[in-house]
Structure formats: C-alpha cells, structure tokens
C-alpha cells in the first residue's frame, strides 16, 4: 500500500467524468487499498479515484455502523429527505461550506470481489456518498454549496 497525493482544486482532472471499471484486477485492488490509506492519513470520510488522479469510477467511504467500504461503479438508486450541513473536501483543504444533500441515500456498487453491494445510509454517510459519487462525474462540493463558511464560523465540526 502507498499514500497517494490528493490533487487540489484547479487541477482539470477534478472536472472530468471517470470511466467505468470493466475489470476488477490487481491494479484496482491496489488503487482501493492506496485510497483507504490516503483517506485515513488525511482524516477524511471519503475519497474518489479522481482525487488521486485516476479517472475510474472507484470510491472509498466510511459509512456509519459499517466502516470503510469500496464502491466500484457506484450508482445512487434512491434518495429521500433533505439536510443542510457543513461539508468540506480533501481537494479543497481548509475550505468549508453549507451544502444541501439528501438525508437518505441507497447506493449500489461492486466490491473488490466483483459482487454487487447495496447500502442504505443517512445523515453524514448519505452526504459522503453523494459527495464522492459527484466526484466521479466531475462535480465538486462547491457546485452544491449554499454558502461558504468563514474561518471564524468553524466550530471544530468539519466534515470532509
């Protein structure tokens, strides 16, 4: 495993659509493990492959009550409810805003074994899934932000 560099705002890769994973092989497994390590070191709750410069539809995300999971070719199947909360992004270090996201999300994807997985999550986990899946389509949290926060507005309640 290796820690990968997280690319930051301004890098055109963040605005590109990631390609489907056609074959789950050793390269994808290594990518997933590297992303998990990178996310943990950066104290994030999610990381998408484009954030480490790889245009593949791969996400790692920490789900409440489940732990860190990989989502390969994720598709959000259902959303409901509404939440507005603080959100940040590892590709926008130190920047936070209030975003509008669904309160509940059901996502389907493949795991590293190529098996279909389905998670129904809410709250922070729902926000994280939406945030990371957006990355796969070149959409960034600043595209969803209702209002950016000033540094003095942060109360130690950062969510990346």
Cα–Cα distance between 24 and 71 in angstroms, integer?
Answer: 12
The DSSP element (H or E) to which 36 belongs, if any, is helix 26-41
> For residues 55 and 28, is the Cβ–Cβ distance under 8 A?
no
DSSP string across 105-149: EEEEEE-TTS-EEEEEEETHHHHHHHHHHHHHTT--GGGTEEEEP
The DSSP element (H or E) to which 31 belongs, if any, is helix 26-41
Catalytic residue among 62, 70, 87, 132: 132
132 included as an active-site residue: yes
Cα–Cα distance between 90 and 155 in angstroms, integer?
Answer: 18
By annotation, the residues acting in catalysis are 132
């Amino acid at each position: 495993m290796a820690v990968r560099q997280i690319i930051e705002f301004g890098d055109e890769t963040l605005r590109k659509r990631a390609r489907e994973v056609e074959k789950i092989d050793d390269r994808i497994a290594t990518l997933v493990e590297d992303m998990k390590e990178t996310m943990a070191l950066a104290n994030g709750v999610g990381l998408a492959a484009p954030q480490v410069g790889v245009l593949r539809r791969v996400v790692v995300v920490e789900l409440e009550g489940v732990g860190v999971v990989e989502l390969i070719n994720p598709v959000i199947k259902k959303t409901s409810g509404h939440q507005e909360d603080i959100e940040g992004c590892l590709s926008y270090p130190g920047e936070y805003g209030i975003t509008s996201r669904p309160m509940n999300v059901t996502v389907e994807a493949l795991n590293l074994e190529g098996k279909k997985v389905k998670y129904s999550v809410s709250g922070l986990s729902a926000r994280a899934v939406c945030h990371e899946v957006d990355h796969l389509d070149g959409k960034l949290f600043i595209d969803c932000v209702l209002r950016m926060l000033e540094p003095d507005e942060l109360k130690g309640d950062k969510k990346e």
